[in-house]
Chains A and B, each alone.
Chain A
Amino acid sequence: MCTYVTEKAEMFGSAKGPQGWFKVDMANVYFDHPFHAPLDHSLNIDFVNEANGSPTRVAVEISAESARRLIEKIQAALEAGEASHSIPPEPVKA
């Protein structure tokens, strides 16, 4: 499909791009045609800083299966990391 359907997630953190580290305040997530990955459709994520209007982004294009596997591993890493550091889980703000 070809749509502009984009899920936007507010971010707090940093990403490393071609010019080095930069602050990230948004992740643009969409499942659509990739630019580079050899897939008809891919799960695409652009980590950006929208507040300063910079065009810099860290982009990934992965298969739907890879994305679901990543979701599991993100959850697993959070649970294991927070437990081992005795950090209470942070609720996701609506």
Chain B
Amino acid sequence: MPYNGMIAENVMIPGDGGDEIECYYARPLGSGPFPGVVLIHHMPGWDEWTFEVVRRLAHHGYAAITPHLYHRYNTTGSYDDAAARGRAEGGMVDSQVMGDVGGCMTYLRNQVYANGKVGVIGFCSGGRHVVLAGSQLEGVDAAVDCWGGGVIPTERFGISPQRPVAPIDLTEQINAPLLGIFGNEDTMPPPEDVDKQEEALKRFGKSYEFHRYDGAGHAFFCWDRPSYRQDQAVDAWGKIFAFYERYLSTADVPEGATVS
């Protein structure tokens, strides 16, 4: 009889600049070895949906962690208040996000039950951060960009002190296989921007696969929002887990992992 068990809790780990940052971490119980995944949350910040996705990844056999990218604004204990303060000050700083994500990757690899493989997955602004991570960080074994807007700067969401480099301009530096999930009714990014992103990946001979869904717009995985699209989300999650299986597994069968 298969065993399903996990532990999920808040942890404090060194992030960018050595700052101790709060993270939410879920992993299967058992000695592993388990691949790791860093989840880069969306622009609204930490919320129940984000925690559920971390636990979903753990349920599927991954040691999954999400850094609270607004942690440094969190003075009230309320995650939405922290996100509001971060937004009012211009949003997340790319270099700080990369430092926090890098800290999480190191943390995952340092665990005794780690199999040494680490992937990243990001939603919304997190998808854009995934493209940056795949270009700027060493050791990303698989990158999943879920509807990341702003990979190509727009007039309203362009280059800024917080975001000094356009991810599209770093395409040549991408050093991880990339999976992209997009809704064809999305406006950030619109389909024409996804086309440009794909053209750049082809031009530089990068390993990638894009899955683009009709009848779906932005955030179509979010079952707590009107944007949820059940058929498309179920199919896309299957693509993600197949991608991670291909790039994050090792020969050993992880002890404690679910068998689906």
Interface residues of A (CB under 8 A from B): 1-6, 8, 26, 28, 30, 32-36, 38-40, 46, 48, 50, 55-57, 59
Contacts and interface: CB of A to CB of B under 8 A. Distances in A.
B84 interface: yes
B80 A35 contact: yes
Interface residues of B, number: 32
Task: Please report whether the interface of chain A is mostly helix, strand, loop or mixed according to DSSP.
Answer: loop
A2 B125 contact: yes
**Which 9 A-B residue pairs are closest in the complex by CB-CB distance?**
A4-B91, A1-B188, A2-B43, A3-B157, A35-B80, A2-B124, A55-B75, A28-B88, A55-B76
Majority SS at the chain B contact face:
loop
A28 B149 contact: no
B147 to A, nearest CB: 9
Interface stretch (B15-23, B28-36, B198-206, B219-227): B219-227
A26 B45 CA distance: 22
A16 to B, nearest CB: 16
Contact of A55 (B85, B156, B187): B85
B256 interface: no
Contacts of A57: 81, 84
Given A4-B91, A33-B43, A59 B84 contact: yes
Nearest to A30: B87
19 contacts: A1-B149, A1-B157, A1-B188, A2-B125, A2-B149, A3-B150, A3-B188, A4-B91, A4-B162, A6-B88, A28-B84, A28-B87, A33-B44, A34-B44, A35-B80, A39-B225, A40-B227, A46-B84, A57-B81
Given A28-B88, A35-B47, A38-B226, A4 B157 contact: yes
Given A2-B43, A2-B149, 7 more contacts: A1-B149, A3-B157, A8-B88, A40-B217, A46-B88, A55-B76, A56-B76
A4 B157 CA distance: 7
A10 B156 CA distance: 21
Contact of B188 (A2, A6, A26, A36): A2
A26 to B, nearest CB: 8
A8 B88 CA distance: 8
Contacts of B162: 4
Nearest to A34: B44
Contacts of B226: 38-40
Among B42, B84, B85, B125, find the residue whose CB has the most chain A CB atoms closer than 10 A.
Answer: B84
A33 B42 contact: yes
B90 interface: yes
B57 interface: no
A48 B88 contact: yes
B178 interface: no
Contacts of B83: 35
B219 A40 contact: yes
Nearest to A3: B157
